[in-house]
Amino acid sequence: MKDFLMKDIFEIQEEQKYKYIGLYDQSGNKVIPFNSNATSANSRLKEIETRLLSAGLKDGFYNVCCKNALKGGTADNYLIKKGENLSENISTNIPIVQTLPPDLLSYQQALKLNVEVERLKMENSALKKEIELFKQEQREQELTLLNEEEDESPLPGLMENAKSFLTEAMSFVAPLLDKHFELKEKQLGLQAIQIQNRMNNNTKRPSPEQPGSKAREKNNTKDFILSYKDQTEVYEKLAAFYNEATSEEQFLRNVNEYNGDIFKELISWNKN
């Protein structure tokens, strides 16, 4: 197997641009592990060169293993000789490192990265607040300039357009307001019924005048609902229909779908 000099490996790295480089002995034992993402491959190669020149590292054959994926994959191995008086046939039995485990980050490195991430998050949040303050100041300045321009040089055409817009808007808004107050009035009416029901919760319902009929005060729909105050379920159902209805037709339709007999009584009540 061909052996290489360090200058050859530096030239190969310039050409191949490996991402991960490590140093292993002829038995496959790790001498210098693959570099992590925090260390460049070129820096690790210089570290390997320094280690091979060290007198503390015994003479022998070593593999400079190079790869582009930290996990999995097959490494490209370059045999290098340290020392002069080495048997030529030793290199034939040197195992080639194929797949090596990843070089995991240490706890200190991981902690340092987490602190850096949190710092960046805080800086990002502070920048966002500064941007919002800047936008707010810009809006205030624009409003100030607009008010100054209106005071210095009134624009009759602009004012007329604004009045026209408000007139058209009110033509849409007014019916909605009327509807809102109508529903509010119904809701207040229902609340009055509920209050009266609580005040008279001990009052018994009048006895029937004849079989199949009910004695009630016959004034309006509210009185019809109130006449069922001693039948809690029916009363609450009729009160809900009344409060939620947007028209008399909707209220009558809901009562008819709920109970046909009560609907007939209501029609009869309103006729009398």
Instruction: Specify if 71 maps to a domain.
Output: yes
pLDDT at 270: 81
- Same domain membership, residue 81 and residue 133: no
Domain count of the chain? 3
Give the list of residues 6+ apart from residue 268 with CB closer than 8 angstroms, or none: none
Q: Tokens 């947007």 map to which residue?
A: 246
Instruction: Specify if 165 maps to a domain.
Output: no
Instruction: Specify if 214 maps to a domain.
Output: yes
d(CA 244, CA 241): 5
Instruction: Specify if 226 maps to a domain.
Output: yes
Residues of the chain with pLDDT under 70: 87-108, 149-160, 162-163, 166, 169-175, 177-219, 272
CB atoms within 10 A of CB 240: 13
CB 80 within 8 A of CB 6: yes
pLDDT at 57: 93
Q: Is the torsion defined by CA of 208, 214, 216, 218 positive or negative?
A: negative
Give per-residue burial for 160-185: e unless 16+ CB within 10 Å, then b.
eeeeeeeeeeeeeeeeeeeeeeeeee
Instruction: Specify if 13 maps to a domain.
Output: yes
Q: Which helix (H) or strand (E) holds 21?
A: strand 20-25
Provide the residue range defining the domain that includes 37: 3-93
- Same domain membership, residue 141 and residue 208: no
Distance between alpha carbon 23 and the CA centroid of its chain, in Å?
A: 46
Name the residue among 2, 22, 9, 12 with its Cα closest to residue 67: 22
pLDDT at 63: 96
pLDDT at 66: 96
- Same domain membership, residue 246 and residue 212: yes
- Same domain membership, residue 59 and residue 133: no
Instruction: Specify if 236 maps to a domain.
Output: yes
- Same domain membership, residue 267 and residue 188: yes
- Same domain membership, residue 188 and residue 141: no
CA triplet 82, 84, 90: central angle to 5 degrees? 70
Instruction: Specify if 198 maps to a domain.
Output: yes
This prediction's pTM: 0.35
Instruction: Specify if 139 maps to a domain.
Output: yes
- Same domain membership, residue 189 and residue 263: yes
- Same domain membership, residue 257 and residue 186: yes
What is the DSSP code (8-state) at residue 56?
A: T
- Same domain membership, residue 44 and residue 109: no
pLDDT at 164: 72
pLDDT at 106: 60
